Structure formats: structure tokens, C-alpha cells
């Protein structure tokens, strides 16, 4: 609508977003279901109106009176749903989320989708050729190692080579034979050199098809930019998703991920890209919510939290911490708020179960208050069947009471992480709403383009760079008050990869 001159709109209400918040994490609520639940009204669905399959009618084939009746009944239901949904939101305590975060954010996301982002198509075309040659070289190397030619993308052929010809240990089985999924292959990486080549081929092939090949096809011919679609009600945690392209799955720390990010560029003359990223926001939230004195103390002292953790666990000074010790502490820190146990730690780091068990024993002894807080979440969630965040966001997790221990374990991990991940999602949403308002009020040219995880990306005229360098971290750090404080790192550059640090702001 924006591209057709529809202009900006103030959003008065959204049955879709209200239902999303009331649904405690259920996604994609349908108007037909809401009308049935709250109004006892049966609406004709679009599928019922048009039909499906070969018998489906084109919208132009619908009689005018039939189309008018269809639209009028839906409009009437939306009007009648508003007071019912408003009352229900007040009753469940999600009205603040709706009016102060989600509803205003809908307009922000509409502007971001309309704005789009410029893509360096010639650069991607060159990258296509390079990755194609790289994939062909890996395929040849795999053929040499295996002593035969086969299709790496055919699971049954791959399974035969790995488990019958090369006699590697069999892991999981599927209905059609041996599993060759990523988890299975990772356990075999050290068993044979062919496995690492296969995993590398998979990653390259996936990123090439998803981004390098696809991005040029997604460039809008009218704007010359790519316009991703943000999903505001597509995750149970409140996190945004995106599609066409899915920006959330671009690797951040790999060389290939950085090469893909390089294709996202400032598309207007004399403009630059500005990135603003929350630093360790979920760990800060964990420290804030748990009140763990050692976590809070490390953040208050401005220490690197992973180095501080390693020093505390190994009972050494910060200066004595080795890179391997810091890496172990980092995995444990993030794993703790995702419910990871000793098995997960040992698998991720390639250490024995005994080493993982001993380390986690010291870890939880160090952060006893954090463990107590996470245990409280697990217990309360099991009793109530849901988890509620600091902003009132709710997530129902029925499998917390499942007799199946695997389902129950997965549900407990969801419950443990929800308060941290959900509050992190709401903090960046609050910042986005406030930034959007201030940018509009100041009538400046710079625009917010993308939100990816804990990062915001802007396209800014060079003449406004100083203004944005002050405005963005000020609003982002002030979006929510954490006892740890909030830290934001800003960078600037011609594209999303080649950036230099502007500032690190703590507040």
C-alpha cells in the first residue's frame, strides 16, 4: 500500500495482534476463530468463498453482492471484537504490551518494509560464481576421499557411503534408513575427513541458494531495493521473524556470513549504514531478574562477563584466564539461560561428560542465585502451565506436564529461557517505537531499515551521522531500566559488513 501511495496510517486497533497476545504464544490467529470464540458468529473464510484446488474461483468471478456480504460481515465482526478483546487484554494484563509496544510497532514495521534496503547485485553475481566453483571443488574432494561419485544432496546415497562403504558409526535411524542430519554428522566429524567436507558443502550450498542466488531475484523493480516481510506475531517469545529474505538466519560470525552482509549497502548518494547492537542483553536480563550478586557485580565493574565467569569458576585472576577457559565459560553462560545441561555442554565443546559435570558444578556454585531463580521458573511453570515475562507477555507450554521426559525436558528449556528472550524482544521493540517517533518528529532523512536479533540497521546521510550517533544509543539504552545497565555498540560503514566502531555506550 505504501508503494502505491497509501501513505502512513495511525493504527487504532488490531484484532490480529490482540489475539496474538491473548493466545499466550499461539501464532497466526484467524478472524474466523476469534468471531466464533468471542462473538459466537460463524464467518465464511476466504477458502470457503473462493474454493480450493482446481475448483477455486478467481476473486473477479465473485458476484458483487456476495463479495459485499463477505466483506461487510468481516468488518462488522472486527468492530464488535474490539471491546471484547480490549476487556480480555486488561483482564490478563497484556494491555500495556498491546497499546505501548505491539500496536505502535506495527506502523514502524510497515515503514521499514516499505523503505527496504539496497542490495549490491553485481557483487552477488560474482559471489555466485565463486561459491559455485568452491562447491564443485568440495564435491571433487569428496569423490576422491570416498573413492566414488555420488550425490551429496541425496540422503540415501550419502548414508550408504558413510555407514556401509566407510563403516562409520550409525547414529539415529529414520523411516527410510540412516539419519544424515546435521546433528548426526557433527558427532562423526572427528571420525573421518569426509564428514567435515560434507558439512562445509551443506553450509555453502544452503547460504548460496537462500541468499546469494535469491537476493537478486527479490529486488523490487520499482524501488531497486529488497523489501523483507517482518512477522510480528510469528514467535511465541515476542521476537520478530522475517521472510523473503529471512534475515535472521544469516550467520553473524562466519566469513561467509560477513560476505553476505557486505551485499546490504547504503543505496543513496552520500549515505552510510549505521548498526546499533545490544551487548549481551539476555545475560544482563538474567542477572537483573535473578539478582545474582556475582553476575551483577561483574557487569557493574564493566568486566567481560565470560572472562569474569571463568576466573570465578577456576578460582584464578582475570589476567590468568586462557582463551579455552573463556570459551568454556561463554558456552556455559549462554547455555545456562537456555536450560543446557552437562550433555549439551560436552557435545558443544567436545569435552567429556565428567569434565562438563565438574565445570557445571563449580559454575552453579558460583552463580547460586541464578540457579535458584531458574529452578523457580521451572517449578512455577510446571504448576501453572505457562510463563509470564516482566512486561506481561505470556507463553503457554502444555508439555511441561507431559509424561514423555523428552517433551517435558524441551518444554522446561523453553520455560527457562522465555523470561530473558521475551524481555530482550520487548526492549528492542520499545527502542524501535521511540526511535521511529523521534526520527519522524525531527524530520530527518535517516531511516531505520532492519531489525535482526538484537541489532538495528539504519541508512543515514553523512550530514546526520553525528545526530544518529547520539540519538540511537541514547534511546536504545533508555528503553528499559536494568540493574546491570544496558550497553549498545554502534558502527558505521558503506555496507553491513565493512563497518568501523563509532562508540560503545553504557547506561
72-102 residue pLDDT tens? 999 999 999 999 999 999 999 999 999 999 9
Q: How confident is the model at residue 486 (pLDDT cuts 50, 70, 90)?
A: very high
CA distance linking residue 304 with residue 317, whole number of Å: 13
Query: What is the rounded CA–CA span in Å between residue 128 and residue 140?
Result: 18
Using only C-alpha atoms, what is the Rg of the chain?
26
Instruction: Judge if the upstream peptide bond of residue 35 is cis by omega within 30 degrees of 0.
Output: no
Question: Residue with C-alpha cell 523411516?
Answer: 175
Q: Would you place residue 26 in the very low, low, confident or very high pLDDT band (cuts 50, 70, 90)?
A: low
- Taking all residues of the chain, what is their mean pLDDT, rounded to a whole number? 91
DSSP summary character for residue 494: S
What tens digit of pLDDT does each residue of 194-234 get? 989 999 999 999 999 999 999 999 999 999 999 999 999 98
Structure confidence at residue 60 as a pLDDT band (50, 70, 90): confident
The answer to whether residue 71 scores a pLDDT higher than 60 is yes
H or E segment at 500?
strand 500-506
Task: Please tell me the distance from the alpha carbon of residue 157 to that of residue 195, in angstroms, as a whole number.
Answer: 14
CA distance 43 to 31: 8
pLDDT in tens, 288-332: 999 999 999 999 999 999 999 999 999 999 999 999 999 999 999
C-alpha cell, 104: 505502535
- Write down all domains in the chain, each with its CATH number in brackets: 2-115 (3.30.420.10), 119-217 (1.20.1060.10), 229-281+425-506 (3.30.70.370), 282-418 (1.10.150.20)
Q: How far apart are CA 416 and CA 196, in angstroms?
A: 33
Task: Kindly tell me if the per-residue pLDDT of 353 is higher than 90.
Answer: no
Q: Is 116 helix (H, G, I), strand (E, B) or coil?
A: coil
Residue with cell 549498545: 488
Q: Which of 102-106, 155-159, 173-177, 375-379 has the lowest mean pLDDT?
A: 173-177
Q: Give the length of the chain.
A: 507
Considering the entire predicted model, what is its pTM? 0.90
Strands (E), 148-270: 173-174, 177-178, 225-226, 229-231, 241-243, 264-265
Task: Decide: 210 and 243 in contact? Cβ < 8 Å.
Answer: no
**Nearest alpha-carbon partner for 199 in 211, 187, 217, 216:** 187
d(CA 219, CA 259): 18
Per the model's pLDDT, the better-predicted residue between 426 and 350 turns out to be: 426
- Give the CB-side neighbour count of residue 309, counting CA atoms within 13 A: 28
Using a pLDDT cut of 70, give the percent of the chain over it. 97
pLDDT tens profile 276-289: 999 999 999 999 99
Amino acid at each position: 500500500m505504501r508503494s502505491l501511495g497509501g501513505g502512513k496510517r495511525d493504527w487504532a486497533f488490531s484484532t490480529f495482534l490482540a489475539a496474538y497476545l491473548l493466545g499466550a504464544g499461539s501464532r497466526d490467529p484467524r478472524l474466523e476463530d476469534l468471531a466464533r470464540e468471542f462473538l459466537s458468529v460463524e464467518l465464511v473464510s476466504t477458502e470457503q468463498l473462493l474454493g480450493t484446488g482446481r475448483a477455486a474461483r478467481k476473486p473477479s468471478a465473485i458476484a458483487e453482492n456476495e463479495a459485499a456480504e463477505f466483506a461487510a460481515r468481516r468488518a462488522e465482526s472486527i468492530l464488535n471484537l474490539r471491546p471484547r478483546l480490549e476487556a480480555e487484554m486488561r483482564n490478563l494484563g497484556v494491555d500495556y504490551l498491546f497499546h505501548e509496544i505491539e500496536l505502535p510497532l506495527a506502523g514502524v514495521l510497515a515503514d521499514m518494509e516499505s523503505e527496504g534496503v539496497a542490495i549490491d547485485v553485481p557483487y552477488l553475481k560474482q559471489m555466485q560464481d565463486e561459491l559455485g566453483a568452491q562447491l564443485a571443488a568440495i564435491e571433487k574432494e569428496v569423490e576422491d576421499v570416498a573413492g566414488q561419485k555420488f550425490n551429496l544432496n541425496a540422503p540415501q546415497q550419502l548414508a550408504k557411503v558413510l555407514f556401509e562403504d566407510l563403516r562409520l558409526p550409525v547414529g539415529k535411524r529414520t523411516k527410510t534408513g540412516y539419519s544424515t542430519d546435521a546433528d548426526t554428522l557433527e558427532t562423526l566429524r572427528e571420525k573421518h575427513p569426509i564428514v567435515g567436507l560434507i558439512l562445509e558443502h551443506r553450509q555453502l550450498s544452503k547460504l548460496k541458494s537462500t541468499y546469494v542466488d535469491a537476493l537478486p531475484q527479490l529486488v523490487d523493480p520499482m524501488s531497486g531495493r529488497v523489501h523483507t516481510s517482518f512477522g510480528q506475531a510469528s514467535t511465541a517469545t515476542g521476537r520478530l521473524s522475517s521472510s523473503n529474505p529471512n534475515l535472521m538466519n544469516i550467520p553473524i560470525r562466519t566469513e561467509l556470513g560477513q560476505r553476505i552482509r557486505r551485499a546490504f549497502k547504503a543505496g543513496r548518494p552520500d549515505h552510510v549504514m549505521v548498526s546499533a547492537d545490544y551487548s549481551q542483553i539476555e545475560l544482563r536480563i538474567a542477572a537483573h531478574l535473578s539478582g545474582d550478586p556475582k553476575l551483577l557485580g561483574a557487569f557493574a565493574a564493566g568486566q567481560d562477563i565470560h572472562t569474569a565467569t571463568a576466573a570465578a569458576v577456576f578460582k584464578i585472576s582475570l589476567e590468568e584466564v586462557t582463551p579455552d577457559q573463556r570459551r568454556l565459560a561463554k558456552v556455559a553462560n549462554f547455555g545456562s539461560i537456555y536450560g543446557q545441561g552437562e550433555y549439551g555442554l560436552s557435545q558443544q565443546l567436545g569435552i567429556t561428560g565428567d569434565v562438563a559435570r565438574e565445570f557445571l558444578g563449580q559454575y552453579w556454585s558460583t552463580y547460586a542465585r541464578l540457579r535458584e531463580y531458574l529452578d523457580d521458573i521451572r517449578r512455577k511453570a510446571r504448576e501453572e502451565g505457562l510463563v509470564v515475562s516482566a512486561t506481561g507477555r505470556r507463553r503457554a507450554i502444555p508439555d511441561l506436564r507431559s509424561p514423555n521426559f523428552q517433551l517435558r525436558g524441551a518444554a522446561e528449556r523453553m520455560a527457562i529461557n522465555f523470561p530473558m528472550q521475551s524481555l530482550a524482544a520487548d526492549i528492542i521493540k520499545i527502542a524501535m517505537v521511540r526511535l521511529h517517533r523521534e526520527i519522524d518528529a525531527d524530520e530527518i532523512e535517516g531511516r531505520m531499515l532492519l531489525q535482526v536479533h538484537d541489532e538495528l540497521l539504519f541508512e543515514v546521510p553523512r550530514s546526520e551521522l553525528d545526530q544518529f550517533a547520539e540519538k540511537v544509543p541514547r534511546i536504545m539504552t533508555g528503553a528499559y531500566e536494568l540493574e546491570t545497565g544496558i550497553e549498545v555498540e554502534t558502527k558505521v560503514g558503506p555496507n553491513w559488513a565493512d563497518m568501523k566502531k563509532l562508540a560503545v555506550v553504557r547506561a
